Structure 1
Amino acid sequence: MLLGQSILFAALQASLFLVPGYGMSEIQRRFLTCGDPSLQCDHGVIMVYGVQFSTIEKLSSNERPKACSDTEAFNGVSNRCDGNEKCDVATSGSVCDLCSTAYLTNIFLDVTYGCLESKKVTTCHGVVHLECGDGVVFLQKALYGRIDSQTCSQGRPQSELTNTKCSQEGTLALWSQRCDGKQTCEVNMRVNQISDPCVGTYKYLDVPYICLPAKTSITCEGSTSSLDCGKGVIKVFHANYGRRDGSTCSAGRHELSNQNCLQPKTLDVVKQWCEGKSQCTVGLDPVFGDPCYGTYKYLEVSYTCLGGSPTV
């Protein structure tokens, strides 16, 4: 499996740059070894843009490491690190045997990454919006409850502020399903109030998120679309087959009332189709099944091109 990493690294190493509008630091390059297998962002969260798997010196045949393509190395590091302030690629098993005792001083991962600024919205009541301009929303955390006595405390009696260990289970999953991959997303506290995690405590909704520099492809039910990254390669951030609003793929349709139609396995399927490739075709596949019978659905995919510009 070829990822086109040589193209990617040539593009990134030629010049360090900033991405306007996304609050991203300069692109950085690190060599990870077993002795130092971690990435960290002092401000913001990690976004991996390229990984090469290499050896410091030629190993003897009986010490030859497990074959590891740049695709495997990239996917392994990206899955562990993207969206985190810090990550250890050798924790709970290594990426392509980085820390195998047979050759732990010989293998390294050449990683290119940036740090994305984290934003946060907090609402005591009512509605707020997550905004990402030309990028897309990706939630890091979400809290509905109370973890301190200061937030949303004005005018509230002390008895409603003392419980600082209150959080509703499933809040992150709920809002990730609604917001990830969108340019804007409405966050309504009333939607979140499925149950009361701490009766008598005045609660608030706290949502930290990042804006990913991504494009979005929309494919209406029964159709196909092509993602094309030219000389670059595709990295998929989010995908859903179903319906999350009433306007997308709505022309001439009336089956639009269910706007919380989700197919959880969509992301894994689209990654198999597209991740690491220069081009791929998405949509019109029975593997998605019918997550909401009677609703006219669409496939939405948020992705970026590494080492090139999209031509969709």
Structure 2
Amino acid sequence: MLLGQSILFAVLQASLFLGYGMSEIERRFLTCADPSLQCDYGVIMVYGVKFSTIEKLSSNESPKACSDTEAFNGVSNRCDGNGKCEVATSGSVCDLCNSAHLSDIFLDVTYGCLESKKVTTCEGAGVVHLECGNGVVFLQKALYGRTDSQTCSQGRPQSQLTNTKCSQEGTLALWSQRCDGKQMCEVNMRVNQISDPCYGTYKYLDVTYICLPAQTSITCEGSTSSLDCGKGVMKVFHANYGRRDGSTCSAGRHELSNQNCLQPKTLDIVKQWCEGKSQCTVGLDPVFGDPCYGTYKYLEVSYTCLGGTPTV
């Protein structure tokens, strides 16, 4: 992925003022001796990777070919959303530490640290919102239950606070499906109260998320859309084919009642079409199957352009 470092730096620096909670953009050279990235706070977001090698003069073997796109995808998959990551692990990114082939190999990585936001809602409270302005929500953690005796404790008897090992399975998956990729997401405690993970304990919902500097493309069922990053390339954060609200692609339609229609394989398909490319076409409905028969669906894709300005 051939990115102009000065252009990339300018684009990302501009995002500091859009409310994404991003640290200064950093550039590191990863080698076998030092193959890790780390954020002192927040989580890693990789924006560019270049691959370089110096072959051993005494070796007749050629190093494993690695394009900048391959290197970017490998580092991004390992590091994005984590506080720390090791690039040179089993199945390393383009044989970073294969000493049989190389005397030196490094990855030139440009990345930033995104600050996490946390929202806590006490049981019985009203609706709260996760908001990201011009960016999109991406959940990191979600807990429904109780893990300490202080949170949401005011006015509650001690007997409702003693169980601090209470958590409902699937809470992160539930809210990720509902919120990831949206600029604003409504969090309603009633959604979590389908079952009770610890009867008699006063519970709360803890949600930790980051705001990604991304835009969202919507393609109604039966249509296609062209995504264009000009001279830049795409990084896809989230994609779903289905329906998550009652207003999107709703004009003249009545088949809107199912607003929890999800197709888990959408992201992998859209990444194959678009990740690391300057242009792509999305919205080929048959590829996704029909995750909710009888519901009018749409494809939503949250992405950003690295190294250029989008022309969508």
Cα distance between partner residues in 2 of 1:199 and 1:158 = 14
Preserved contact between residue 7 and residue 231 of structure 1 (Cα < 8 Å):
no
What percent of counterpart residues are identical?
A: 92
Structure 2 unaligned runs (5+)?
none
3-state SS of paired residue (2:60): helix
Preserved contact between residue 55 and residue 102 of structure 2 (Cα < 8 Å):
no
Preserved contact between residue 37 and residue 90 of structure 1 (Cα < 8 Å):
yes
Preserved contact between residue 230 and residue 309 of structure 2 (Cα < 8 Å):
yes
Misfit runs of 4+, over 3 Å: 1-18, 56-61
Preserved contact between residue 234 and residue 305 of structure 2 (Cα < 8 Å):
yes
Evaluate the alpha carbon distance shift between residue 295 and residue 59 of structure 1 in structure 2; reply closer, same or farther with a 3 A threshold: farther
Evaluate the alpha carbon distance shift between residue 38 and residue 295 of structure 1 in structure 2; reply closer, same or farther with a 3 A threshold: same
Deviation per residue, 1:132-186 (Å, 9 max, x gap):
0010000011111111111111111222212212111111110000000000001
In structure 2, the partner of 1:38 is 36
TM-score (norm 1): 0.92
Preserved contact between residue 56 and residue 101 of structure 2 (Cα < 8 Å):
no
Evaluate the alpha carbon distance shift between residue 245 and residue 17 of structure 1 in structure 2; reply closer, same or farther with a 3 A threshold: closer
Preserved contact between residue 3 and residue 277 of structure 1 (Cα < 8 Å):
no
Evaluate the alpha carbon distance shift between residue 157 and residue 234 of structure 1 in structure 2; reply closer, same or farther with a 3 A threshold: same
Higher deviation after alignment, 268-277 or 163-172: 163-172
Preserved contact between residue 228 and residue 310 of structure 1 (Cα < 8 Å):
yes
Deviation per residue, 1:25-80 (Å, 9 max, x gap):
11100011111111111121111000111114555553422111111110011011
> How far did 1:281 drift?
0.6
Higher deviation after alignment, 59-68 or 8-17: 8-17
Preserved contact between residue 4 and residue 232 of structure 1 (Cα < 8 Å):
no
Preserved contact between residue 41 and residue 113 of structure 2 (Cα < 8 Å):
yes
> How far did 1:205 drift?
0.4
> How far did 1:284 drift?
2.7
> How far did 1:93 drift?
2.8
Preserved contact between residue 128 and residue 188 of structure 2 (Cα < 8 Å):
yes
Which of 62, 78, 86 is the aligned partner of 2:60?
62
Evaluate the alpha carbon distance shift between residue 13 and residue 238 of structure 1 in structure 2; reply closer, same or farther with a 3 A threshold: closer
Evaluate the alpha carbon distance shift between residue 5 and residue 152 of structure 1 in structure 2; reply closer, same or farther with a 3 A threshold: same
Cα distance between partner residues in 1 of 2:98 and 2:158 = 55
Higher deviation after alignment, 194-203 or 205-214: 194-203
> How far did 1:101 drift?
3.8
Evaluate the alpha carbon distance shift between residue 105 and residue 16 of structure 1 in structure 2; reply closer, same or farther with a 3 A threshold: farther
> How far did 1:290 drift?
0.7
Number of residues of Structure 1 aligned to a counterpart in Structure 2 = 310
> How far did 1:285 drift?
3.3
Cα distance between partner residues in 2 of 1:113 and 1:267 = 22
3-state SS of paired residue (1:130): strand
- RMSD of aligned Cα (Å): 2.5
| Correspondence list, 1:160-199, <5 A | 160-199=160-199
Cα distance between partner residues in 1 of 2:216 and 2:50 = 27
Preserved contact between residue 119 and residue 208 of structure 1 (Cα < 8 Å):
yes
> How far did 1:219 drift?
0.3
Deviation per residue, 1:68-116 (Å, 9 max, x gap):
1111110011011111111111234311111224256511111000111
> How far did 1:254 drift?
0.3
Cα distance between partner residues in 2 of 1:280 and 1:112 = 24
| Correspondence list, 1:142-157, <5 A | 142-157=142-157
Cα distance between partner residues in 2 of 1:12 and 1:245 = 31
Preserved contact between residue 231 and residue 308 of structure 2 (Cα < 8 Å):
yes
Higher deviation after alignment, 229-238 or 195-204: 195-204
TM-score (norm 2): 0.92
Preserved contact between residue 34 and residue 104 of structure 1 (Cα < 8 Å):
no
Preserved contact between residue 2 and residue 69 of structure 1 (Cα < 8 Å):
no
Preserved contact between residue 130 and residue 186 of structure 2 (Cα < 8 Å):
yes
Deviation per residue, 1:210-245 (Å, 9 max, x gap):
000101000000001110000000110000000000
Cα distance between partner residues in 2 of 1:241 and 1:77 = 27
Preserved contact between residue 56 and residue 108 of structure 1 (Cα < 8 Å):
no
Higher deviation after alignment, 139-148 or 59-68: 59-68
Higher deviation after alignment, 178-187 or 37-46: 37-46
